[in-house]
Amino acid sequence: MKKLLVTGGAGFIGANFVHYWLAKYSADKVVVLDALTYAGNIANLDSVKNHENFTFVHGNICDQALVERLLTEHNIDTLVHFAAESHVDRSITGPDAFIETNIIGTYSLLKAAKKVWLDGDAILDGHRFHHVSTDEVYGTLSPTDPAFSEDTAYAPNSPYSASKAASDHLVRAYHHTYGLNVTTSNCSNNYGPFHFPEKLIPLVITNILHDKALPIYGDGQQIRDWLYVEDHAYGIDLVLQNGRIGENYNIGGNNEWANIDIVKTISKLVEQEFVKNPDLAKRFPQAKAAMAQNTESLITYVKDRLGHDRRYAIDATKTNNELGYQPKESFATGIAKTVTWYLNNEAWWQSVMDGSYQDWIAEQYSS
């Protein structure tokens, strides 16, 4: 039986991980530590809030004393670290928060874990610090380059990916220098329920329903490797169970798509849903699909992201061979489930798209 401290558990992937974990290992204890930034939403944890082994703590990962207290009071043996500033566009306009949370915050967690697990009277056997990282630390690929493997040299290009790379290095150093039991996973782009609508896939779905432009950065030919979020949770589960201490594991979907093709695919899926379910035209009367018009006409090419990485692709051979990892969801089933989830959970996405989010979006498109 494990006792987990999950940082950032009220965010997109963290919340999906908590749902996955308590459904599969309901006797385990799960404590979530989350600062509830604009991206964190306590409602993401509604389905587990009454679970007897679940605790939510509102707090910041930079608060070392708080983290030490949580590790001690809850006898935590496994820390799964999701908390981060995660949006590349925000890191370009305001990198400070990324340095603070992603670098200083991770450093603070490492110090707390070392103090409680290694520096006490006895080293805690079987402790684990699992760090959730990204494929973006490897930089960018040309269309013909081989996919990123765990041996690819780090070459981060945005303030976000540089801050994640820095945190990955600190995690590695705490293992090498102090013997902290660490693992790191580097995952590709996730999609699925509870994805904040500033990211491409949920932004496109919600904009279609509001009859808003679908902004495509640059030529729309940038490529991402998309993974259904539950398959990320499954990959982390395998790393926690059988991953070798001190190792990095790539997790990916083997599922590369150009952005423009993702947007066209989602447009078609939404149109099909409106044909199948006439109620949708009543709920979203402004949507093109409600008037049998072409949704793709909303596609609007806009100024490219600064320093935009052209292509990411994950080679997950090591994770497949060592841990038996294979994603369970195909892209066809995962994206259909995701569209359905957004159609059925309007109250969720309307509530997270509050004033501060709208102000930020307006700022991005003001010039």
C-alpha span between 352 and 196 (Å, rounded): 8
Told to check if 222 binds ligand DAU by CB under 6 A, we report yes
Q: Of these, 4, 6, 14, 141, which contacts ligand NAD (CB under 6 A)? A: 14
DSSP string for 104-140: IIHHHHHHHHIIIIISSSS--TT-EEEEEEEGGGG--
Cβ atoms < 10 Å from Cβ of 196? 20
Q: Of these, 224, 232, 288, 311, which contacts ligand DAU (CB under 6 A)? A: 224
DSSP string for 181-227: -EEEEEE-EEESTT--TTSHHHHHHHHHHTT--EEEETTS--EEEEE
Q: Catalytic residue among 107, 138, 160, 312, which? A: 160
Question: 364: closest CA among 86, 87, 84?
Answer: 87
Q: Of these, 18, 31, 60, 184, which contacts ligand NAD (CB under 6 A)? A: 60
157 binds, among ligand NAD, ligand DAU, none (CB under 5 to 8 A by kind): none
Which residue stretch of 138-146, 171-179, 189-197, 354-362 sits at the interface with ligand NAD (rule: CB under 6 A)? 189-197
Which residue stretch of 60-68, 276-284, 310-318, 326-334 sits at the interface with ligand NAD (rule: CB under 6 A)? 60-68
What is the Cα Rg of the chain in Å?
20
CA 24, distance to chain mean position in Å, is 20
20 part of the active site: no
Told to check if 102 binds ligand DAU by CB under 6 A, we report no
C-alpha span between 234 and 248 (Å, rounded): 16
Q: Of these, 11, 139, 156, 215, which contacts ligand DAU (CB under 6 A)? A: 215
C-alpha span between 175 and 275 (Å, rounded): 55
73 part of the active site: no
Burial letters for 133-156: b for 16+ Cβ neighbours within 10 Å, e otherwise? bbbbbbbbbeeeeebbebebebeb
**Minimum CB separation from ligand NAD for residue 7, in Å?**
6
Q: Catalytic residue among 135, 168, 256, 329, which? A: 135
Nearer to ligand NAD, 84 or 287 (CB): 84
CA angle 241, 242, 243 (to 5 degrees): 110
Told to check if 225 binds ligand NAD by CB under 6 A, we report no
| Interactions with ligand DAU, residue window 164-203 (CB under 6 A) | 188-189, 199-200, 203
- Please state the φ and ψ torsions of residue 251, each to the nearest 5 degrees: -125, 125
Q: Tokens at residue 100, please? A: 């603070």
Q: Of these, 31, 40, 252, 274, which contacts ligand NAD (CB under 6 A)? A: 40
Nearer to ligand NAD, 33 or 289 (CB): 33
C-alpha distances out from residue 29 to 20, 34, 50, 75, Å: 13, 16, 13, 10
160 part of the active site: yes
Residue whose token pair is 């290009």: 157
**Minimum CB separation from ligand NAD for residue 226, in Å?**
9
Question: 236: closest CA among 79, 26, 31?
Answer: 79
Nearer to ligand NAD, 36 or 336 (CB): 36
Told to check if 110 binds ligand NAD by CB under 6 A, we report no
C-alpha distances out from residue 94 to 220, 307, 327, 360, 364, Å: 24, 15, 34, 11, 12
**Minimum CB separation from ligand DAU for residue 354, in Å?**
18
Told to check if 20 binds ligand DAU by CB under 6 A, we report no
222 binds, among ligand NAD, ligand DAU, none (CB under 5 to 8 A by kind): ligand DAU
| Interactions with ligand NAD, residue window 129-168 (CB under 6 A) | 132, 134, 164
Told to check if 159 binds ligand DAU by CB under 6 A, we report no
Where in the sequence numbering do the catalytic residues fall? 135-136, 160
User: Interface residues with ligand NAD (CB under 6 A)?
Assistant: 7-8, 10-14, 34-37, 39-40, 60-62, 82-84, 86, 101, 105, 132, 134, 164, 187, 189-190, 196
User: Interface residues with ligand DAU (CB under 6 A)?
Assistant: 86-88, 134-136, 188-189, 199-200, 203, 215-217, 222, 224, 259, 305, 312
